[in-house]
Structure 1
Amino acid sequence: MLPAYAAYAMLSLAPILVLGVPPIWTQPEQVHLSYPGVPGSMLVTWTTFNKTESKVEYGVLGGRLFDMAATGSASLFVDSGEEKRKMYIHRVTLTGLKPASAYAYHCGSDAGWSDVFYFTALNDSTSFSPRFALYGDLGNENPQSLARLQKETQLGMYDVILHIGDFAYDLHEDNARIGDEFMRQIQSIAAYVPYMTCPGNHEATYNFSNYRNRFSMPGQTESLWYSWDLGSAHIISLSTEVYFYLMFGQELLFKQYEWLKKDLEEANKPENRAVRPWIITMGHRPMYCSDDDQDDCTKFDSYVRLGRNDTKPPAPGLEDLFYRYGVDLELWAHEHTYERLWPVYGDKVYNGSTEQPYMNPKAPVHIITGSAGCREKIDPFNPNPKEWSAFRSRDYGYTRMQVVNSTHVYLEQVSDDQYGKVIDSIWVVKEKHGFSAWL
């Protein structure tokens, strides 16, 4: 038996001994879905801070719970901050899903399971009319639109979310703890519908490593650029940042351009464009904008639009490429405002007609939706915008889009400042798609 003084000494050390034991972090968190680009599939991604198995148990909603299971793998991600924090990113792909069927699932392992979530397998019919919420520049400080988006997603209002760059502000901050907190915040959206992304300038630290490791988009480019099909649309996600962060590899700029060209060529084959006539792009920094930011919006010589002449060889911009292949709709963010443009090409307006500018427009339609809410607040507008600026708002909010059918796309802007009021809406109507539609 220990002497009394020795027992007392051991007890006095107990808090120190307890504090010295590292916590066991096997509980799944930061659960989010993405569409791998293959019909009948869904990709589940989550994080743990200790290594565990990667398993998803699932079943048809209303049937026997968890009567199916799939396994995947975990990759170690070491953040590049001072603490070199480690986390394990788990990925499991569910296959053989019945289109438009609802499933319940949880993820994890016998060392810990997530909450139960549910999703609807994407409908792979070309006559499907998918509904999207789209926005960029959402942080975990001042995320004004987040609560409304959470509720609307859980009400089943959206089939897909498009987050057009700039996450968390910033994913890497506080040794990536801000990224962890942001991924926990969007779980109430992203665990229910595919959360499709593209990189923005706020992801650039450590060569976009937090973005590249945390998200799981289609293709083999670490989520930097990719394309996928849904309903009557071919959707392309791209990195505008390859034009700005040449220190991470100028070859990425040319590699993406060549990929875009091949992807657009494939999408424009008559047999492909006939079934998926809409081509929609999403990228972070817009080609046109009218914010008073003393940057792209006030210079009108956007790298993204016109390319760069200070590289060898000169780097081509994207406006001519997108115009040549008949891109219908271009979605952007970066500016912390909402702006709808008239159909524009080469800095000139090409409306379908005076009465119906979006009826058979003669150039692509641009939408900028970067006002979801972040710590940088809302941007000011240039008081004298160019003629292509059709509608502008500094309200916090986000955009809804529905690809209704092969000829009609509907877009509307929701103001969170005005309690969910729709403050702008348009129908883009095209009886003809492709380059010949401009003529």
Structure 2
Amino acid sequence: MKLLYAVCHLLSLAPWLVCCVPPIWTQPEQVHLSYPGVPGSMEVTWTTFNSTNSTVEYGLLGARLFDTSVQGMSTLFVDSGDEKRAMYIHRVVLSGLKPASTYVYHCGSDEGWSEVFYFTALNDSLLFSPKFALYGDLGNENPQSLARLQKETQRGMYDVILHIGDFAYDMHEDNGRIGDEFMRQIQAIAAYVPYMTCPGNHEATYNFSNYRNRFSMPGQTEGLWYSWNLGTVHFISVSTEVYFYLEFGLDLLFRQFAWLKQDLEEANRPENRAARPWVVTMGHRPMYCSDDDQDDCTRFDSYVRLGRNDTRPPAPGLEDLFYHYGVDLELWAHEHTYERLWPVYKDKVYNGSTEHPYVNPKAPVHIITGSAGCRERTDRFNPHPKDWSAFRSTDYGYTRMQAVNATHLYLEQVSDDQDGKVIDSIWLLKDKHGPSAWL
């Protein structure tokens, strides 16, 4: 009897004894890919909660499994919440990949390996016609489009995913645990194709630290702004948030603007524009929109479009810059709707013609795609939009895009509410690119 009592007493203390032993968290999770911008490369990023080595083992599909091993590095990220939770972000760059070849890989260390994933190396040919899914404002509560995107990505429908700001809702919440859960959810997408991002307003807490630490984008600005090339497209990703969170440094706004001007000048050098005629931008908050949000969409005076006159010196907006350097297509989110605009500049429509508005248009085309699904639900539209609003939908969904060749670019909107139905589509056709295309 005494022995039984002693055993029961020890069992009752077991939870307390376990609590005194620090957990060992060396298992990789939150695996995702990004394109570093260098042909024949791919970057693998993942998380552990204890310090481990950073290794990716990979090989060509059908060849010897994991015949190549590459070492990378990890950085300690301490979330700024009350618990000061620590995590290790691992990054490994794979190089010398064969274009359009499929590779099988896993990541981790001898203290724990991820499951097996695969990806197809991006084709650096100018004849490549890449396919994209693009959206913003995807949370891990009410992520309505997530399952369809996971399935379509694993079926090989996309070469790249563009997430145009606002992740998880919000990554910093519950001391970063919401961010962890979101990164686990998108692993079913982002471990298979490059997941290219830009920051949104929901990333602003702690000076965008969760965004800056969790993602690995090209350039040296922690993913705030950068550019990269694929097929016939020069992509530019910007932070619209530099216009709104001045407490993090007004200099960021001017640094981004100066970088943008230089990048666009380089993209418009005759040999570069001939090779990559399409210039496509993505940023979170749109220049134009017609939601009934009592904000930019109803006042039509977007800081992103027009700049700010309440700073010293005044901060320039992006519309004139993008127009003068011949940006073809501008992708936005933030509004929890889908909206396609007619070609527009300075609040006026510049269609190519009445019959064919997107054939040789005389101004950039804007697409707003922020209805992937989040806890804030979808937005309402202003019942009286301006003339530049061409098509609007409050359905949950996302956008597909294909850069077919130097003259043809295709976009379509998928409604998740309507079981994947394509509810809108356009062909953007341009015989001429650059500033002279507006003449």
Question: What's 1:124 paired with?
Answer: 124
Greater CA deviation, 377-386 or 5-14? 5-14
**Hey, what's the Cα distance between the residues in 2 that align with 1:110 and 1:206?**
34
Question: What's 2:51 paired with?
Answer: 51
**Match of 1:40, SS?**
coil
**Hey, what's the Cα distance between the residues in 2 that align with 1:407 and 1:424?**
20
What is the Cα deviation at residue 20 of structure 1? 2.2
Question: What's 2:203 paired with?
Answer: 203
**Hey, what's the Cα distance between the residues in 1 that align with 2:310 and 2:14?**
64
**Match of 2:176, SS?**
helix
Report 1:337-376 matches (<5 A). Answer: 337-376=337-376
What is the Cα deviation at residue 23 of structure 1? 1.3
**Hey, what's the Cα distance between the residues in 2 that align with 1:238 and 1:395?**
26
Report 1:19-58 matches (<5 A). Answer: 19-58=19-58
User: Counterpart of 2:61 in structure 1: which amino acid?
Assistant: L
**Hey, what's the Cα distance between the residues in 1 that align with 2:252 and 2:230?**
27
**Hey, what's the Cα distance between the residues in 1 that align with 2:289 and 2:7?**
72
Question: What's 2:260 paired with?
Answer: 260
1:73 lines up with 2:73 in the alignment: yes
**Match of 2:175, SS?**
helix
**Match of 1:175, SS?**
coil
1:243 lines up with 2:259 in the alignment: no
Question: What's 1:217 paired with?
Answer: 217
1:93 lines up with 2:86 in the alignment: no
Question: What's 1:433 paired with?
Answer: 433
1:332 lines up with 2:337 in the alignment: no
**Hey, what's the Cα distance between the residues in 2 that align with 1:227 and 1:216?**
13
- Percentage of matched positions with identical amino acids: 83
User: Counterpart of 1:145 in structure 2: which amino acid?
Assistant: S
The one-character-per-residue Cα deviations of 1:344-369 (angstroms, maximum 9, x if unpaired) are 00000000000000000000000000
**Hey, what's the Cα distance between the residues in 1 that align with 2:407 and 2:338?**
25
**Hey, what's the Cα distance between the residues in 1 that align with 2:358 and 2:5?**
86
Measured on the aligned residues, the alpha-carbon RMSD in Å equals 1.1
**Hey, what's the Cα distance between the residues in 2 that align with 1:331 and 1:7?**
65
**Hey, what's the Cα distance between the residues in 2 that align with 1:9 and 1:381?**
64
Question: What's 1:104 paired with?
Answer: 104
What is the Cα deviation at residue 10 of structure 1? 4.3
The one-character-per-residue Cα deviations of 1:318-361 (angstroms, maximum 9, x if unpaired) are 00000000000000000000000000000000000000000000
Question: What's 2:414 paired with?
Answer: 414
**Hey, what's the Cα distance between the residues in 1 that align with 2:146 and 2:34?**
19
Question: What's 2:13 paired with?
Answer: 13
**Match of 2:88, SS?**
strand
Report 1:280-429 matches (<5 A). Answer: 280-429=280-429
The one-character-per-residue Cα deviations of 1:387-408 (angstroms, maximum 9, x if unpaired) are 0000000000000000000000
User: Counterpart of 1:231 in structure 2: which amino acid?
Assistant: G
What is the Cα deviation at residue 19 of structure 1? 2.7
What is the Cα deviation at residue 12 of structure 1? 3.9
The one-character-per-residue Cα deviations of 1:194-234 (angstroms, maximum 9, x if unpaired) are 00000000000000000000000000000000000000000
**Hey, what's the Cα distance between the residues in 2 that align with 1:431 and 1:262?**
25
Gaps of 5+ in 1: none
What is the Cα deviation at residue 22 of structure 1? 1.9
What is the Cα deviation at residue 7 of structure 1? 6.5
**Hey, what's the Cα distance between the residues in 1 that align with 2:398 and 2:257?**
29
User: Counterpart of 1:278 in structure 2: which amino acid?
Assistant: W
- TM-score, length basis structure 2: 0.98
What is the Cα deviation at residue 41 of structure 1? 0.3
**Match of 1:192, SS?**
coil
Question: What's 1:278 paired with?
Answer: 278
**Hey, what's the Cα distance between the residues in 2 that align with 1:315 and 1:307?**
5
User: Counterpart of 1:370 in structure 2: which amino acid?
Assistant: G
The one-character-per-residue Cα deviations of 1:296-331 (angstroms, maximum 9, x if unpaired) are 001111000000000010000000000000000000
What is the Cα deviation at residue 3 of structure 1? 8.6
Compared with structure 1, are the counterparts of its residues 422 and 4 closer, same or farther at alpha carbon in structure 2 (3 Å cutoff)? Answer: closer
**Hey, what's the Cα distance between the residues in 1 that align with 2:14 and 2:197?**
47
**Match of 2:157, SS?**
coil
**Hey, what's the Cα distance between the residues in 2 that align with 1:397 and 1:4?**
61
What is the Cα deviation at residue 9 of structure 1? 4.9
**Hey, what's the Cα distance between the residues in 2 that align with 1:143 and 1:122?**
28
**Match of 1:32, SS?**
strand
1:187 lines up with 2:187 in the alignment: yes
The one-character-per-residue Cα deviations of 1:210-259 (angstroms, maximum 9, x if unpaired) are 00000000000000000000000000000000000000000000000000
**Hey, what's the Cα distance between the residues in 1 that align with 2:333 and 2:278?**
20
Question: What's 2:164 paired with?
Answer: 164
Gaps of 5+ in 2: none
